[in-house]
């Protein structure tokens, strides 16, 4: 059976979707545990000040730094994905994220080494953001390029459930360590979710290495038409579409981050709820996302991407108030 046979194409499509999903789940587990830790423990451990609010703001600002590095990573890894292939880039991004996350779990605190501790924390967060920028876009692209015609919306949407699955795993991991007494949590308990990432990274790498290169890139390479500066051509030929899509997705990104990270601090300070209670509140919402995203992907195959995108954007105007 050749790669062009329908059965072979479907098998590769499923394998690519599974590899993309697992890798994205691992990446967003890593990305999310940092956000949870920045809301719960990092202020005391890395930014001790006389004012707890200032320490919390400094801690959350290091979480935000990851989003500054994220578009840079998307551009850099997107460029090399077009030049060298999707598969190799996705292996590199997963390795970078895993290394940075495990490193956070091994960092000394401010009380041990002073200002060096938050500097190393920020550096690890920058690597995380740089990595996830290439990971998320690359995983979706790899999956969509392997997908059958008429199923690309659904296949691509499966990768987005990986972001929520990663958040779900991160919430469960932190819910576990939050049961520890404060002294143990702040001494060694907070490190466990970061160190556990090493196991997930190995699983993700094994699965990714078994996936074949995307048929689109393989075809371009066979025809010797790989562009020397693909990122330049993208902005020259489709700069307007890139800018519009980037601005259009802002609302969803802001809403997701506020719900998954800022809500923990809001619940604790404004509502007087414990951190483990707020993490528990997030779990059912994460499950809803995992169910609804593939549904939206399937609907996009039926009614068009633009229609579903606009419907989601309109809903974001009203649902946050509810």
Locate 268 and state its tokens.
């604790």
Residue 291: HSE in the Cβ half-sphere, 13 Å Cα cutoff: 6
**Other residues' Cβ atoms within 10 Å of the Cβ of residue 272:** 8
Each residue's pLDDT, cut to its tens digit, for the chain (322 residues) gives 344 566 666 777 777 778 888 888 888 888 788 888 887 788 888 888 756 666 767 777 777 787 788 888 888 888 888 888 888 888 888 888 889 999 999 999 988 988 898 899 999 989 988 988 888 778 888 888 877 777 788 888 888 888 888 888 888 888 888 888 988 988 899 999 999 988 888 888 888 888 777 777 777 777 776 777 777 887 788 788 878 877 777 777 777 777 766 777 777 777 777 777 777 777 788 788 888 888 988 898 888 888 888 888 888 778 777 7
Helices within the chain (DSSP H only): 6-40, 42-46, 52-84, 86-106, 110-113, 116-146, 152-177, 182-184, 191-195, 197-209, 215-222, 230-248, 250-257, 263-269, 275-303, 305-318
Helices 86-106, 52-84: axis angle to 10 degrees equals 160
Compute the distance between CA of residue 293 and CA of residue 37 in angstroms, rounded to an integer: 26
Compute the distance between CA of residue 244 and CA of residue 151 in angstroms, rounded to an integer: 24
Look at the pTM and tell me if it is higher than 0.85: no
Compute the distance between CA of residue 186 and CA of residue 121 in angstroms, rounded to an integer: 16
> HEC states along 147-195?
CCCCCHHHHHHHHHHHHHHHHHHHHHHHHHHCCCCHHHHHHHHCHHHHH
Is the Cβ–Cβ distance between 293 and 160 less than 8 Å? Answer: yes
Compute the distance between CA of residue 29 and CA of residue 24 in angstroms, rounded to an integer: 8
């Amino acid at each position: 059976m050749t790669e062009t046979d329908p059965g072979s194409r479907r098998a590769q499509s499923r394998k690519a979707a599974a590899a993309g999903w697992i890798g994205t789940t691992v990446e967003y587990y890593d990305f999310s545990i940092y956000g949870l830790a920045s809301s719960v423990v990092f202020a005391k451990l890395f930014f001790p000040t006389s004012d707890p609010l200032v320490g919390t703001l400094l801690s959350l600002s290091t979480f935000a730094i990851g989003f500054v590095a994220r578009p840079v990573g998307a551009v850099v890894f997107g460029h090399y994905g077009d030049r060298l292939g999707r598969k190799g880039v996705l292996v590199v991004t997963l390795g970078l994220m895993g290394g940075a996350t495990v490193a956070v779990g091994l960092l000394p605190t401010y009380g041990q080494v002073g200002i060096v501790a938050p500097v190393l924390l920020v550096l690890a967060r920058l690597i995380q953001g740089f990595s996830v920028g290439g990971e998320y876009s690359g995983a979706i692209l790899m999956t969509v390029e392997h997908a059958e015609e008429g199923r690309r919306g659904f296949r691509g949407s499966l990768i987005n459930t990986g972001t929520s699955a990663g958040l779900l795993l991160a919430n469960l991991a932190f819910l576990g360590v939050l049961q520890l007494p404060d002294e143990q949590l702040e001494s060694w308990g907070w490190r466990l979710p970061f160190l556990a990432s090493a196991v997930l990274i190995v699983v993700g790498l094994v699965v990714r290495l078994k996936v074949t290169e995307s048929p689109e890139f393989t075809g371009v390479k066979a025809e010797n038409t790989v562009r020397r500066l693909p990122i330049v051509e993208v902005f020259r030929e489709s700069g307007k579409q890139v800018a519009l899509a980037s601005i259009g997705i802002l609302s969803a990104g802001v809403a997701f981050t506020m719900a998954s990270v800022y809500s923990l601090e809001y619940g604790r300070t404004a509502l007087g709820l414990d951190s483990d209670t707020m993490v528990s509140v997030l779990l059912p919402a994460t499950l809803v996302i995992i169910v609804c995203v593939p549904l939206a992907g399937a609907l996009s195959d039926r009614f068009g991407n633009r229609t579903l995108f606009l419907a989601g954007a309109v809903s974001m105007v009203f649902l946050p108030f509810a």
